[in-house]
Amino acid sequence: MMTPPDAFAPAQLGPLKLRNRILKAATFEGMTGGQQVSDRLIEFHRRMARGGVGLTTVAFCAVSPEGAGTPNELILHKDVVPGLRKLAEAVHAEGAAVSAQIGHAGAVAASAGLRGVAPSRIFSPLAMQRTREATAADIARITNDFVAGAKLLEESGFDAVEIHLGHGYLLSEFLSPKINKRRDGWGGTIENRARFSREVVTAVKDAVGERMAVIAKLNMDDGVPGGLWLDESLEVGRMLESDGALDAIELTGGSSLQNPMYLFRGEAPVQEMADSMPKAVALGIKLFGRFFFKAYPFEEAYFRSYARQFRAALEMPLVLLGGVNRLDTIERGMADGFEFVAMGRALLRDPDLIDRMARGEAKQGLCVHCNKCMASIYAGTHCVLVEEGQRA
């Protein structure tokens, strides 16, 4: 057997050389008031870089106004380039690389006050109305929006781009047999349902792939009956690998539209979510939140068993994600054959964790998986157990 790689040694991600194999996963920061890069957002990622990650990821950047999933979300257009450039420079000064997650929220866009677009007309509980069905012209336009967004990130000095194919956003909705009821070339078989995602990934790779790493975040399991599951998501993984347009796949699950807690696991912060919302929304969460925010027991590396199925089926680089909080989990991921490990909540609690692990000063993070950080996403995502002064 080959010796597993050292997670804290330099590694190659496509054209990009990272100082280690630990990635800061995209966790929506809620720090883009006025849809602009704020000093607070820059400091958030500077701190992650200073804490030792190889690459930090700016969370969900919409490729167009209609694709925004929340109010005040960052939308990729020329006006945000100066702020993004400043953020990239701050991260680079700390020795890390920077990526941005790009996506189109689809039916989830209704939560930003928009009428969502989806592969088929569906009822969106986030807006209490039906979406409209994407046309062929929409698909072509949105593909071009992904390319334009990636080029804008390259212009801003970013090192990588993460294309969001999961979590119930538009490309994920096309993959889902539960949501995609189309009878044309974009629906029906898994090959047809994967067509939109594959064309977006290939177009982005053709545009920026020689100079930027291109990653995709892919659902292994939607976490809902009738949704995308391993039997078909493995097929999607094989298609993406055969296309040769990705430098890595980050493996995930769950749906912001249908079952958000499947991604997070642990306690469901229903009361805290209600307290963070306007009164009308808060009432609905208090009455029905326990049905939407279903609690799942937390376990370390809860996606590992599913992700190992991908590792056995694919040769390309894969990123292990989901409840990674301990050094031995990182080492086990390397032994399993994953090239990278992504961490989210653990680094919200302790941004210096990777640096301390590399120095032998820590074996696990301090995150208690209470998920109360979820309720802070509109005011500035943070661990509620960390004092304000420690976040700066």
Amino acid at 284: G
Which residues does 162 contact at the CB level (< 8 Å), separation at least 6? 26, 57, 99, 100, 101, 102, 215, 216, 217, 250
What gap in Å lies between CA 78 and CA 220, rounded to an integer?
34
Residue environment code for 27-46, b if the CB has 16+ CB neighbours within 10 A, otherwise e:
bbbbbbeebbbbeebbbbbb
What is the signed CA dihedral for 71, 76, 78, 84, rounded to 10 degrees? 90
What gap in Å lies between CA 37 and CA 33, rounded to an integer?
8
Which residues does 208 contact at the CB level (< 8 Å), separation at least 6? 150, 151, 153, 154, 161, 214
What gap in Å lies between CA 248 and CA 241, rounded to an integer?
9
What gap in Å lies between CA 283 and CA 289, rounded to an integer?
9
Backbone angles phi, psi at 133, to 5 degrees: -85, 135
CB 120 within 8 A of CB 138: no
What gap in Å lies between CA 44 and CA 52, rounded to an integer?
13
What gap in Å lies between CA 103 and CA 59, rounded to an integer?
10
Considering only CA atoms, which of 40, 16, 10, 51 is closest in space to residue 359? Answer: 51
Residue that the structure tokens 């989830």 belong to = 108
- Catalytic residue check, 169: yes
What gap in Å lies between CA 168 and CA 164, rounded to an integer?
10
Classify burial at 276, counting beta carbons within 10 Å of its beta carbon; exposed 0-12, middle 13-18, buried 19 or more. Answer: middle
The beta-carbon contacts of 305-310 under 8 Å, at least 24 apart in sequence, are 306/220, 306/221, 306/230, 306/251, 306/253, 307/220, 307/251, 307/336, 307/338, 308/336, 309/220, 309/230, 309/234, 310/220, 310/234, 310/237, 310/249, 310/251
What gap in Å lies between CA 148 and CA 64, rounded to an integer?
10
Active site residues: 169
